[in-house]
């Protein structure tokens, strides 16, 4: 028994076993570290190539974007790409490689060689079953482009890595082109597309005329718009906002005698008429006006901040143009229009005049007043569009002289809870609002020279990309 107990307690040789286990463990760790060090360069290379391929894809989309910016015929670009439609419901990489190639396949970026990466860009119409989820608009039924939305897909390769990116490209509606929506949306000499459109007309000498006028005020044939429009009654209204039924409100604010002073296209056709039949709900929405203003206000020739403590007030605007065109009180001439942007501050009491103009004033171009009222007194002549937009806003042409807006006038109320008794539009005395395509086109030519995105040398149309997706 003692012999057995002694054998069990005998620990001779255990050090060899522990040493072997330790050696095996350390060997495994060394091998693991060696393996990691062996694959680490390959992992880094793969990450670098994937990143480079992604950058090439992004740059390729920009190259294709330039093609769309400079091409007015998007329908021609997507024509014949019916395979891009065909009821495809998925948006994975394998199903996205359809459409017409822009440029050449496997191209190098401008100024580079294929050693820096290769790309192929395809363009297709938004006609797949699920494309409305990408674009936010109703998909088209075929490859005939009509809604100013297309989808670009860039596939780029660098080394062994390939990346595919897709993006929606759209032309932002030009509020002032006489074309049909979605590219154009202006539909009246005097427009109230916002969430409220309370109006007051005083006297019987004012005039609202949607017929087309030249720069001298002569009525031309064709291109007539409505006299007065309100926003579409089915446009989106934020929760708690008013019901969009403002046409009757404006019609009821005019007396029977005053309705003779509103002239324009008949709401049911191309003939011109007066009164209620040229006052109608139309396509121009509050959001469209907001988007347009946001797109152009950064390119203003004159930007003036107006606060409740120090509101913008000008007398004899334009009097300095002859001697100093660069003056902040020179708001453009027929030969050199300007974009003038007045930035107000929202006042929920509706008592803030962001801009007051009096004396003998004139200007030419695009005038934007945001987040405050615009009031006009004295003699005033403006050629081009005027946009008053934002919360608790309105425009008042208050008489005391001869006042003419020849172009278009938009009052866009974006607040949904303004207290009763405040007006989005007030016309008194000899106030005149006349639609003029010539005045608007001059203003748009100015805008096209300032902002990239003009197409084919025509009236300004901004092109933008959104909803990037990487596959």
CA distance 74 to 150: 8
Q: Looking at 311-454, list the stretches that DSSP marks H as alpha helix, in order from N- to C-terminal side.
A: 437-450
What confidence score (pLDDT) does residue 67 get?
86
Distance, first Cα to last Cα, the chain = 76
pLDDT at position 93, please? 39
What pLDDT sits at residue 30?
75
264-280 pLDDT, tens digit per residue, is 999 998 799 999 999 99
CA distance 150 to 121: 13
The two structure tokens encoding residue 205: 């000498």
Domain-wise residue ranges, the chain = 50-172, 188-450
Least confident of 8-12, 187-191, 215-219, 452-456: 452-456
CB atoms within 10 A of CB 128: 24
Read off the pLDDT band of 13 (50, 70, 90).
low
**pLDDT class for 204, splitting at 50, 70, 90?**
very high
161 pLDDT band, cuts 50/70/90, is very high
pLDDT per residue as tens digits for the range 169-195: 987 666 776 555 555 578 899 999 998
pLDDT of residue 410: 97
Q: Tokens representing 10?
A: 């005998």
Q: pLDDT averaged over the chain? A: 85
pLDDT at residue 406 is higher than 60: yes
Spatial neighbors of 7 by CB under 8 A, at least 6 apart, are none
Candidates 72, 275, 271; CA nearest to 179 is: 72
Provide the pairing of β-strand 149-158 with 118-125: antiparallel
pLDDT band at residue 411 under the 50/70/90 scheme: very high
User: 43, exposed or middle or buried, with CB in 10 Å at 0-12, 13-18, 19+?
Assistant: exposed
Contact, 128 vs 153, CB < 8 A? Answer: no
Cα 280 to Cα 224, 227, 250, 431, 434: the distances in Å are 14, 9, 9, 21, 17
Is the whole-model pTM more than 0.85? Answer: no
Contact call for residues 336 and 354 (beta carbons, < 8 A): no
């Amino acid at each position: 028994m003692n012999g057995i107990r002694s054998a069990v307690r005998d620990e001779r040789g255990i050090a060899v076993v522990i040493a072997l286990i330790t050696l095996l463990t350390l060997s495994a760790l060394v091998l693991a570290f060696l393996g990691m060090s062996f694959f680490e360069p390959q992992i880094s290379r793969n990450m670098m190539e994937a990143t480079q391929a992604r950058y090439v894809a992004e740059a390729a989309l920009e190259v294709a974007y330039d093609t769309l910016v400079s091409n007015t015929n998007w329908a021609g670009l997507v024509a014949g790409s019916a395979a891009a439609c065909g009821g495809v419901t998925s948006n994975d990489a394998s199903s996205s490689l359809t459409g017409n190639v822009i440029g050449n396949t496997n191209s190098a970026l401008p100024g580079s060689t294929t050693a820096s990466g290769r790309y192929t860009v395809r363009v297709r119409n938004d006609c797949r079953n699920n494309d409305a989820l990408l674009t936010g608009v109703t998909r088209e039924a075929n490859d005939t482009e009509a809604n100013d939305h297309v989808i670009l897909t860039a596939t780029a390769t660098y080394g062994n890595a390939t990346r595919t990116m897709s993006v929606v490209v759209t032309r932002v509606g030009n509020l002032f082109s006489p074309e049909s929506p979605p590219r154009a949306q202006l539909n009246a000499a005097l427009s109230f597309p916002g969430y409220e459109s309370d109006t007051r007309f005083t006297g019987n000498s004012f005039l609202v005329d949607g017929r087309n006028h030249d720069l001298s005020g002569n009525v031309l044939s064709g291109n007539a718009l409505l006299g007065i429009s309100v926003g579409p009654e089915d446009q989106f209204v934020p929760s708690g906002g008013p019901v969009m039924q403002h046409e009757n409100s404006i019609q009821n604010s005019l007396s029977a005698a005053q309705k003779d002073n509103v002239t324009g296209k008949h709401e049911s056709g191309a003939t011109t008429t007066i009164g209620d039949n040229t006052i109608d709900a139309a396509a121009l929405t509050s959001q469209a006006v907001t988007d347009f203003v946001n797109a152009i206000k950064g390119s203003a020739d004159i930007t003036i901040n107006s606060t409740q403590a120090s509101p913008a007030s000008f007398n004899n605007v334009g009097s300095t143009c002859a001697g100093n065109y660069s003056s902040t009180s020179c708001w453009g001439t027929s030969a050199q229009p300007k974009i003038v942007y007045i930035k107000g501050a929202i006042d929920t009491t509706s008592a803030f005049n962001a801009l007051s103009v009096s004396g003998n004033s004139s200007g030419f171009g695009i005038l934007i007043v945001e987040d405050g009222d615009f009031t006009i007194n004295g003699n005033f002549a403006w050629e081009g569009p005027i946009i008053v937009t934002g919360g608790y806003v309105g425009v008042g042409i208050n008489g005391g002289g001869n006042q003419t807006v020849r172009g278009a006038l938009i009052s866009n109320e974006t607040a949904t809870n303004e207290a009763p008794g405040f007006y989005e539009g007030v016309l008194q005395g000899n106030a005149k609002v006349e639609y003029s395509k010539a005045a608007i086109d001059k203003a748009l030519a100015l805008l096209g020279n300032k902002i990239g995105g003009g197409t084919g040398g025509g009236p300004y149309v901004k092109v933008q990309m959104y909803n990037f997706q990487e596959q």
